[in-house]
Amino acid sequence: MPDWKAEVKARLAGLSLSPARELEIIEELSQHLEDEYEQALSRGVSEAEAERAVLADLKVPNLLGRELKRVERAVPQNPVPMGTRARSNMIGDLGQDVRYGLRMLAKNPAFTAIAVLALALGIGANSAIFSVVNAILLRPLPYKNPEQLVMVWENQTHLGFPKNTPSPANFLDWRQQTTVFQGMAAFAERSFNLTGAGEPERLDGRRVSANLFDVLGVRPIIGRTFVPQEDQPGTKVVLLNESLWKRRFGGDPGVIGRAVTLNNEAYTVVGVLPSSVRLPAFGKWRDQVWVPIAFPAEEAASRGDHFLEVITRLKPNVTLAQARAEMETIAARLAQQYPQYNSRVGAVVNPLHEEIVGDMKTALWILLGAVAFVLLIACANVANLLLARAAVREKEIALRLALGADRARLTKQLLVESVMLSLLGGMVGLGLAYAGLRVLTRFIPPDLAHADTIAIDGKVLVFTLLVALVTGVIFGLAPASQASHFNLSETLKEGGRDSGAGVRGKRLRSALVIAEVAVSVVLLIGAGLLINSFMHLRNLDPGFRADHLLALSVNLSEVKYPDTARRTAFFDEVVRRVQPLPGVQSVAVAGNLPFTYNGDSMGIAVEGIPDPPPDQWPDVIYRAIGPGYFNTMGIPLVRGREFNDGDTLDTTRGVVIGEKTAKHYWPNQDPIGKRLKPGGTNDNETPWRTVIGVVKDVRQNDFIAEPKMQMYFSYKQVGQLVANALIVRTSVDPLSLATPVRNAIWSVDKDQPVANIDSMENIVAGAVARQRFSMLLLAIFAGLALVLAAVGIYGVMSYTVAQQTREIGIRIALGAKRRDVLRMTVKQALKLVGLGLLIGLPSAFILTRVMSSLLFGVSATDPITFVSISLVLTGVAMLASYIPALRATRVDPMVALRTQ
Amino acid sequence: MASPGLDRELKKGSAELLILSLVEDRPRHGYDIGQLIELRSRGALRFNVASLYPLLYRLEKRGWIRGRWVEKAGQRRRRYYRLTPAGKKVLASQRDGWLEFVEAIGRITGIQYA
């Protein structure tokens, strides 16, 4: 009899059918041919004749092949047994793996959805935080060779100012004497009232050295920057910020050469700078205009007036250490030359980037670490899911191996599946990151430079892709490695009843849960410490009552209001008009409200106490205020009285001091009636001031630091322009009074800009914005970690219980109480959690140290936090295992026994 | 079925109908289907291996019929094709279509059926 199979097979060549399909077709067709052959024989035809007749059917050249091709190629191929050694085409294999993987994922939509969601949360959190890190820490500053830029400070650590703002004379000496820098530039904050066209507006700005923008390497959008000759008093030129130029001048290039009115003086616009120029700033200060610093002679000679910030550029090949050494030498020389001001004054050189990023660096890296932990937990969860599913797929895998599948190929296939999962997770995660960032940016501290550039850009996309790939490999390794260690005969012997992928799989799953718990402990303790710190912070008494308090900046023009009398007249009228507004309880003039300004302190001489040596003058913060300030602010008066309208330039100069100042100079004495004055005792230019009251100390500059010594003058008794704000205590929502109060001010002077209208509560919140930001994020991620860990424990316990169904059934059948079964299951979970805690607690003990600089009022090893977090995790674990345990006790023994 | 060309075209149009009709009442294997077609058409129609099986596979891909390997005592296993619910619907509509077609041909050519 002819070999029909060979005949058919020969005609199938070139179709590249899958091996299984080919076998099937050969079997079916050869049988048909054989039937025909036999029938022919039964009719009495000779064998040779019968064979010829049968084969005639196949005679038309390649008809079968052509016909089959139309059918078999028109639709996707049947699933190929995965992992066959037959072909080793990498790309082809990959395509096949991907198709197969997609089918597997589509077949288990619930599994896929859960895994993708867990991964999306993990990856999305990473992408979001990386976007922030990328914008703030990694993206270079928008200047030429930004790594060469440094800031120089005076070091007055002995007075409590490790980084003091340099004085003009010192800056000028530095600039002259250094050899390690290319150009050194100074700048100082200054606000401007823009009047003329449109609403009057208060603008943040700076006085800057003419060479500042050359040092930075900033090119103007139009026009030019300053030239050295313009760094002279009396030069009225200005550079505009791009955003101001667009907003107020419609982006008109013709603005160059035009005059704008700033502080009632005409300035000629010489150029427009890109809005990416962002000098280090305190709080919400955003430069809109720049003018030459042009030190007047008196200012240039001053060594006691500290108000500059200094940026310079390292020469190529000069290291930071070299620059520091030279600046120390120069500072030492100046200290010898001018002992009265400079003794013990050193110099500090820091990279500009560090200055801008500041303490957010630690916080951001910690957050990035935290989200990495969250992702690890998500990975562990998905790995667990995959392991559980691998146990279900055991039979499939065993069968493939038995059919000759290659283990390496099989492992690869499983990895491709997990990477596809993680890529899906990454895609969803990007969406979550995008949404998350929109919320996140609302909590970003306002003084964090470049926060507005936070976005999902190419770098973030690449980062996400890499994270997704690595994640896929990490959580895919567990099930894949298990597959390659697969004991074939065992699995097949057990008749396909899943053997729980053996002890190995169980151990792996338990290890994953232990790891999850350990990582969660670290995260939760970190978050717990930060939350604790934040609570401490929020409970701090700022020294005044921040609620129902409206604050407005009212910066007078020195040209329009050149003397105290005119300023007093203006503010008196404003107070008179604001006071009767509905909802207003009291109103007062203020100078530099708490947390809005970082300067204004001076050494004072006290009558009856010898002046300290020049370098040991304690610094006292001073503020100029108007009558009713303490009452309006809610600052308790301890002794004496506050200023009233009777305190003017014509009466005795008074001063109200803080409790700390009182204790320092007059311990155990009544300070009322004592006298002090700024500057030395023998300085006859400055008048003595008599202490008229003592108030509680207020946190002025820094919310976290203990309040410093402080004193208050009445702005009506000070020659300089010092009052620049108005505060209003209200009986209603303070912000609802913003417009009426502003209109009242404009009714006095329609050109007077009013800015920074905000509630004092918001200002206080802004002072802890960095802490709130770190705390909030870490808390969110820790919460996420807790949920994921709980899900992980739940998943593993459910699985374990399902595995133990038979055992539990037998126990119950033999009379075990449900309570015992319950206890047994929960105990298993607690064992895992206990081991997790055993690893996690010491790790947290070590790791939380890196965040000690972020903590306030709580130590990095706070036992309460450690204990309570352990309890929380244990509780969650009990809950997570209780549900599957409860289900286990409901098992009908008969059913349980039958499951074998 | 005189000319081979016409024979092929007609077969193509009607073959699906024939096969679906044959597996309507019970599952049959390929050889059985081929035999029945030849027998019932009294030799007028005959499918050979090269055209029958591709057709079966196409119908199977479309989900109209479904093949299953069946083992019977003392025999080698054979692939039996059975009409699926979808196939049932197709068969009904093809039957109607065929009838219309034949009637239309009849009206034009004047061939009358008894």
The residue behind tokens 């919460």 is: A783
Distance (Å) from the alpha carbon of A41 to chain B's nearest alpha carbon: 16
pLDDT at A23 over 90: no
d(CA A74, CA A59): 24
Distance (Å) from the alpha carbon of A13 to chain B's nearest alpha carbon: 14
Read off the pLDDT of residues A470-488 as tens digits, 9 standing for 90 and up: 888 888 887 777 666 666 5
- Within a domain: B73: yes
Average pLDDT over residues A627-648: 92
Contacts of A287 (CB under 8 A, 6+ apart): A204, A205, A206, A241, A277, A278, A279, A281
pLDDT of residue A679: 67
| Residue that finishes a domain, picked among A78, A104, A129 | A78
What are the chain B neighbours of A71 within 8 Å (beta carbons)?
54, 57-58, 61
Contact A58 B50 (CB under 8 A): yes
- The answer to whether residue A64 neighbours chain B at the CB level (below 8 Å) is yes
Judge whether A288 and A244 are in contact, CB under 8 Å.
yes
pLDDT of residue A488: 59
* Kind plus residue range of the DSSP H or E element containing A590: strand A584-590
- Within a domain: A592: yes
pLDDT band at A539 (very low <50, low <70, confident <90, very high): confident
pLDDT at A565 over 50: yes
> Can you say whether residue A892 is alpha, beta or left, with left for phi > 0 and alpha for psi between -120 and 50 degrees?
beta
- Within a domain: B72: yes
- The answer to whether residue A61 neighbours chain B at the CB level (below 8 Å) is no
The residue behind tokens 């003084």 is: A447
pLDDT of residue A753: 85
User: Chain B: which residues have CB within 8 Å of chain A?
Assistant: 30-31, 34, 48-55, 57-58, 61, 76, 78-79
- Which of A191-200, A306-315, A514-523, A669-678 bottoms out in mean pLDDT, i.e. has the lowest? A191-200
d(CA A781, CA A438): 17
Give the distance, in angstroms, between the CA of residue A98 and the centroid of all CA atoms in the same chain: 36
- Within a domain: A503: no
A73 and A151 assigned to the same domain: no
pLDDT of residue A89: 55
Total number of domains constituting chain B:
1
pLDDT of residue A313: 95
A65 or A654, which is more confident:
A654
What are the chain A neighbours of B76 within 8 Å (beta carbons)?
31
pLDDT at A290 over 90: yes
Average pLDDT over residues A635-640: 93
Instruction: Provide the token pair at A845.
Output: 């003990």
List, as own/partner pairs, every contact residues B46-51 make where C-beta atoms lie below 8 angstroms and the sequence separation is at least 24, other chains included. Answer: B47/B11, B47/B15, B48/A57, B48/A58, B49/A29, B49/A32, B49/A33, B49/A57, B49/A58, B49/A64, B50/A57, B50/A58, B50/A60, B50/A63, B50/A64, B50/A67, B51/A63, B51/A67, B51/B11, B51/B15
d(CA A342, CA A334): 6
What are the chain A neighbours of B58 within 8 Å (beta carbons)?
70-71, 74
Distance (Å) from the alpha carbon of B97 to chain A's nearest alpha carbon: 24
- The answer to whether residue A32 neighbours chain B at the CB level (below 8 Å) is yes
pLDDT at B91 over 80: yes
Contacts of A397 (CB under 8 A, 6+ apart): A390, A410, A483, A486
Buried-exposed string A252-263: b where 16+ CB fall within 10 A, e elsewhere: eeebbeeebbbb
d(CA B14, CA B44): 13
Contact A58 B79 (CB under 8 A): no
d(CA A210, CA A191): 18
pLDDT at A598 over 80: no
pLDDT of residue A490: 59
DSSP for A434-446, written as a single string: HHHHHHHTTTS-T
- Within a domain: B24: yes
d(CA A720, CA B28): 109
pLDDT of residue A627: 94
Average pLDDT over residues A372-377: 87
pLDDT band at A141 (very low <50, low <70, confident <90, very high): confident
Contact A32 B49 (CB under 8 A): yes
Other CB atoms within 10 A of residue A651 CB: 11
pLDDT at B96 over 70: yes
pLDDT band at A500 (very low <50, low <70, confident <90, very high): very low
Contact A28 B53 (CB under 8 A): yes
Contacts of B106 (CB under 8 A, 6+ apart): B112, B113
pLDDT of residue A673: 92
pLDDT of residue A209: 95
- Which of A378-382, A578-582, A771-775, B27-31 bottoms out in mean pLDDT, i.e. has the lowest? A771-775
- Within a domain: A178: yes
A158 and A68 assigned to the same domain: no
Contact A71 B34 (CB under 8 A): no
pLDDT band at A838 (very low <50, low <70, confident <90, very high): very high
DSSP β-ladder status, A725-730 and A601-606: unpaired
d(CA A146, CA A140): 7
Distance (Å) from the alpha carbon of B65 to chain A's nearest alpha carbon: 14
Interior angle at CA A15, CA A10 and CA A18, nearest 5: 100
Question: A68: nearest CA in chain B?
Answer: B54
Buried-exposed string A318-346: b where 16+ CB fall within 10 A, e elsewhere: beeeebbebbeebbeebbeebeebbebbb
Give the three-class secondary structure for A621. Answer: strand
pLDDT of residue B114: 45
pLDDT of residue A497: 44
Read off the pLDDT of residues A610-619 as tens digits, 9 standing for 90 and up: 887 766 777 7
pLDDT at A90 over 60: no
| Residue that finishes a domain, picked among A293, A328, A357 | A357
pLDDT at A111 over 50: yes
A873 or A70, which is more confident:
A873
pLDDT at B2 over 50: no
Average pLDDT over residues A395-422: 79
| Residue that finishes a domain, picked among A24, A57, A78 | A78
pLDDT at A819 over 90: no
pLDDT band at A620 (very low <50, low <70, confident <90, very high): confident
Average pLDDT over residues A696-715: 86
Cα A456 to Cα A436, A691, A773: the distances in Å are 11, 57, 19
A74 and A169 assigned to the same domain: no
- Which of A70-84, A273-287, B48-62 bottoms out in mean pLDDT, i.e. has the lowest? A70-84
pLDDT at A502 over 90: no
- Within a domain: B75: yes
Interior angle at CA A457, CA A451 and CA A459, nearest 5: 105
Expressed as residue numbers, the domain containing A56 is 4-78
pLDDT at A78 over 50: no
Out of B49, B54, B57, name the one closest to residue A58 (CB): B49
What are the chain A neighbours of B78 within 8 Å (beta carbons)?
28, 31
Counting one residue from chain A and one from chain B, the pairs whose CB atoms sit within 8 A come to: 52
pLDDT band at A429 (very low <50, low <70, confident <90, very high): very high
- Within a domain: A685: yes
A190 or A821, which is more confident:
A190
Out of B31, B34, B50, name the one closest to residue A64 (CB): B50
Expressed as residue numbers, the domain containing B15 is 4-109
Q: What is the CA radius of gyration of chain A?
A: 39
Average pLDDT over residues A787-814: 77
Other CB atoms within 10 A of residue B25 CB: 8
A312 or A771, which is more confident:
A312
pLDDT of residue B13: 64
Average pLDDT over residues A792-799: 77
Average pLDDT over residues A817-838: 85
pLDDT at A249 over 80: yes
CATH number, domain with residue B95: 1.10.10.10
Contact B54 A74 (CB under 8 A): no
Question: B80: nearest CA in chain A?
Answer: A28
- The pTM is what? 0.65
What are the chain A neighbours of B57 within 8 Å (beta carbons)?
68, 71-72
Of A356-370, A642-656, B8-22, highest mean pLDDT: A642-656
* Kind plus residue range of the DSSP H or E element containing A730: strand A725-730
Average pLDDT over residues A86-111: 72
Contact A29 B53 (CB under 8 A): yes
What are the chain A neighbours of B48 within 8 Å (beta carbons)?
57-58
CA dihedral A113, A119, A124, A126 (to 10 degrees): 180
Question: A32: nearest CA in chain B?
Answer: B31
What is the rounded average pLDDT for all residues in chain A?
84
What are the chain A neighbours of B52 within 8 Å (beta carbons)?
32
HEC per residue, A229-291: HHCCCCCCEEEEEHHHHHHHHCCCHHHCCCEEEECCEEEEEEEEECCCCCCCCCCCCCCCEEE
| Sheet strands (E) in A110-174 | 149-156, 161-164
- Within a domain: B30: yes
Out of B49, B55, B61, name the one closest to residue A29 (CB): B49
- Which of A421-430, A562-571, A589-598, A629-638 bottoms out in mean pLDDT, i.e. has the lowest? A589-598
Average pLDDT over residues B69-92: 86
* The residue count for chain B: 114
Judge whether A522 and A840 are in contact, CB under 8 Å.
yes
- Within a domain: B114: no
pLDDT at A301 over 60: yes
- Which of A302-311, A523-532, A596-605, A644-653 bottoms out in mean pLDDT, i.e. has the lowest? A596-605
Total number of domains constituting chain A:
3
* The residue count for chain A: 900
- Which of A30-34, A404-408, A583-587 bottoms out in mean pLDDT, i.e. has the lowest? A404-408
- The answer to whether residue A72 neighbours chain B at the CB level (below 8 Å) is yes
Contact A72 B57 (CB under 8 A): yes
Out of A24, A57, A74, name the one closest to residue B49 (CB): A57
Q: What are the φ and ψ backbone dihedral angles of A473, each rounded to 5 degrees?
A: -70, -40
- The answer to whether residue A67 neighbours chain B at the CB level (below 8 Å) is yes
DSSP β-ladder status, A725-730 and A689-695: unpaired
> Can you say whether residue A277 is alpha, beta or left, with left for phi > 0 and alpha for psi between -120 and 50 degrees?
beta
- Within a domain: A229: yes
Average pLDDT over residues A269-280: 90
Question: A75: nearest CA in chain B?
Answer: B61
Average pLDDT over residues A537-549: 87
A152 and A72 assigned to the same domain: no
Judge whether B25 and B81 are in contact, CB under 8 Å.
no
Read off the pLDDT of residues B13-30 as tens digits, 9 standing for 90 and up: 678 888 999 999 889 999
d(CA A303, CA A338): 9
Out of A24, A35, A60, name the one closest to residue B50 (CB): A60
Other CB atoms within 10 A of residue A314 CB: 20
- Within a domain: A695: yes
The residue behind tokens 């599946």 is: A417
pLDDT at A636 over 90: yes
- Spell out the alpha helix ranges (H) of A640-702: 659-665
Distance (Å) from the alpha carbon of B36 to chain A's nearest alpha carbon: 13
HEC per residue, A14-36: CCCCCHHHHHHHHHHHHHHHHHH
d(CA A376, CA A371): 8
Buried-exposed string A232-244: b where 16+ CB fall within 10 A, e elsewhere: eeebebbbbbbeb
Contact B48 A57 (CB under 8 A): yes
pLDDT at A494 over 60: no
What are the chain B neighbours of A64 within 8 Å (beta carbons)?
49-50, 53-54
Give the distance, in angstroms, between the CA of residue A321 and the centroid of all CA atoms in the same chain: 31
pLDDT of residue A169: 92
Q: Classify the C-alpha dihedral A370-A374-A380-A386 as positive or negative.
A: negative
